[in-house]
């Protein structure tokens, strides 16, 4: 038994109706690296043999009686692999457009709350004989950093067809209501002991927020500001999704970063802003002021984590989609991102995780229902969710099948109906765009706008480098 922390539990509480809180992980395999090629029975056996390498795959959640504490993770004695791994063929011709349409349908499937909260669809029929593993994994299990560690355990560093021997597994029976109630009462003093320091941290945060806003520059978006008009993506969710993904060259992103003296994350955020600007220019109206993006930030480094879970929180960063010039947009983004990092470093003791750790389930669930009714006007998550996760630098394999591409994205929510996430892998900078189908007409336009912004920045960086060489 392991109790969910506050953010883990929040991900469950917010998962209601059309708000699916599962994340999306896509591994595109190249079976040609195995002399025997692709085999569905072999793939299914690999999942069976490797399930123990990902213990969360066998964990289901159970609520705490009377809502006295957050739910617990327990091993599922009825775990059935075939209920979690399914086989499907991508519609012809199996290109990226057809694949992404299939992913849209897969993502719209709610996960079964009576089983471990994950599902993998093995998608055959892709162009070039490739096969994709499309996994829905609930965000309650882990944040992006933790999921990277899980995937590292599941895949090989080298092409190796040696079988993994699964140890014998005998899960205990599910705990009774009385046991769960006893555990909650046992943990209650520790929970109550966190109230005073959290209240002090919240009080300090209010002071820090005032200091950040004192000069009127609004260096960081206020956490709960309903005075501003809702952005174009701040609306309620439907039950349908749109999805697109594309690979870019990590070397080009690094070139822009190094030449122009900014971080890779600055380049990413500036390209997101450019993509949003491109989309709104075609389907809406160009913004006249900066938009707000929600950005996950790590609270606990990976090396200090004992169990999988959500050890990150969120802060907010300005998204300068109203700026037409790509270099000016990048410079403004760099300043905004630095301010957000400073703000988070000073306020993380009173971050989202610290607060929800203390709130009862019924209160959080009530707030979630209110957020849905008001179409996201509670402003917990704002407009666009952005995330940039550094992935493995060396190739990974499932047996002898090379992982050709790796994509990942988190969820969208009421009030933030667009998610743009990058996971880097080897020499790739892999972008996913997930959006509500009513809020966003065409996610490919966001991808094209992102690509155009990167091209503009790369051209500017090379022009800058050339001018420096000529000056010397």
- In angstroms, the CA 453 to CA 285 distance is 18
* Dihedral of the alpha carbons of 22, 167, 396, 387, in degrees to the nearest 10: 20
- In angstroms, the CA 429 to CA 252 distance is 9
* Phi, psi (deg, nearest 5) at residue 182: -65, -40
CB 392 within 8 A of CB 210: no
Distance separating the N- and C-terminal Cα atoms of the chain: 65
Which residues, listed in sequence order, are joined to residue 16 by a DSSP beta bridge? Answer: 19
> Any idea which residues carry the catalytic annotation?
139
- In angstroms, the CA 465 to CA 347 distance is 38
Query: 69, 13, 7: which is closest to 366 by C-alpha?
Result: 13
Which residues, listed in sequence order, are joined to residue 428 by a DSSP beta bridge? Answer: 249, 425
The residue ranges of DSSP E strands in 255-373, in sequence order, are 291-298, 312-319
- In angstroms, the CA 405 to CA 383 distance is 28
Give Cα 19 distance to the centre of its chain: 14
Q: Which residue has the tokens 């978006």?
A: 221
Which residues, listed in sequence order, are joined to residue 2 by a DSSP beta bridge? Answer: 73
Q: State whether residue 15 is helix, strand or coil.
A: coil
């Amino acid at each position: 038994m392991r109790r969910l922390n506050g953010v883990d539990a929040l991900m469950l509480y917010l998962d209601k109706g059309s708000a699916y809180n599962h994340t999306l992980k896509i591994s595109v395999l190249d079976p040609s690296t195995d002399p025997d090629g692709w085999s569905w029975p072999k793939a299914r056996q690999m999942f069976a043999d490797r399930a123990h390498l990902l213990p969360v795959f066998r964990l289901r959640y159970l609520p705490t009686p009377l809502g006295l504490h957050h739910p617990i993770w327990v091993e599922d004695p009825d775990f059935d692999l075939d209920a979690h791994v399914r086989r499907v063929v991508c519609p012809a011709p199996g290109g990226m457009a057809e694949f992404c349409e299939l992913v849209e349908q897969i993502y719209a499937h709610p996960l079964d709350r009576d089983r471990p909260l994950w599902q993998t669809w093995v998608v055959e029929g892709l162009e070039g004989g490739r096969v994709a593993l499309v996994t829905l994994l609930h965000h309650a299990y882990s944040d992006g950093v933790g999921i990277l560690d899980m995937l590292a355990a599941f895949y090989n560093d080298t092409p190796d067809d040696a079988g993994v021997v699964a140890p014998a597994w005998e899960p205990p029976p599910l705990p009774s209501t009385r046991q769960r109630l006893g555990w909650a009462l046992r943990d209650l003093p520790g929970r109550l002991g966190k109230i005073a320091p959290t209240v002090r941290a919240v009080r300090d945060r209010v002071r820090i927020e005032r200091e950040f806003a004192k000069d009127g520059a609004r260096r960081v978006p206020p956490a709960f500001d309903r005075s501003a008009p809702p952005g174009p993506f701040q609306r309620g969710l439907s039950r349908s999704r749109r999805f697109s993904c594309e690979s870019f060259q990590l070397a080009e992103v690094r070139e822009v970063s190094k030449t122009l003296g900014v971080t890779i994350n600055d380049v990413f955020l500036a390209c997101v802003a450019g993509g949003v600007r491109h989309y709104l220019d075609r389907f809406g109206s160009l913004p006249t002021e900066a938009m707000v993006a929600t950005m996950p930030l790590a609270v606990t480094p990976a090396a200090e984590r004992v169990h999988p879970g959500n050890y990150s929180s969120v802060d907010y960063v300005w998204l300068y989609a109203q700026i037409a010039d790509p270099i000016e947009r990048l410079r403004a983004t760099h300043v905004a991102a630095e301010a957000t990092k400073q703000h988070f470093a000073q306020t993380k003791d009173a971050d989202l995780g610290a607060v929800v750790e203390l709130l009862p389930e019924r209160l959080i669930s009530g707030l979630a229902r209110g957020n849905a009714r008001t179409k996201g006007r509670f402003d917990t998550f704002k407009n666009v969710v952005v995330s940039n996760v550094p992935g493995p630098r060396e190739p990974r394999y499932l047996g002898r099948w090379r992982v050709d591409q790796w994509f990942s994205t988190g969820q969208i929510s009421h009030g933030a109906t667009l998610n743009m996430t990058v996971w880097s892998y080897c020499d790739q900078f892999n972008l996913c765009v997930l959006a509500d189908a009513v809020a966003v007409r065409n996610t490919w336009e966001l991808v094209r706008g992102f690509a155009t912004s990167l091209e503009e920045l790369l051209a500017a960086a090379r022009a800058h480098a050339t001018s420096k060489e000529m000056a010397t």
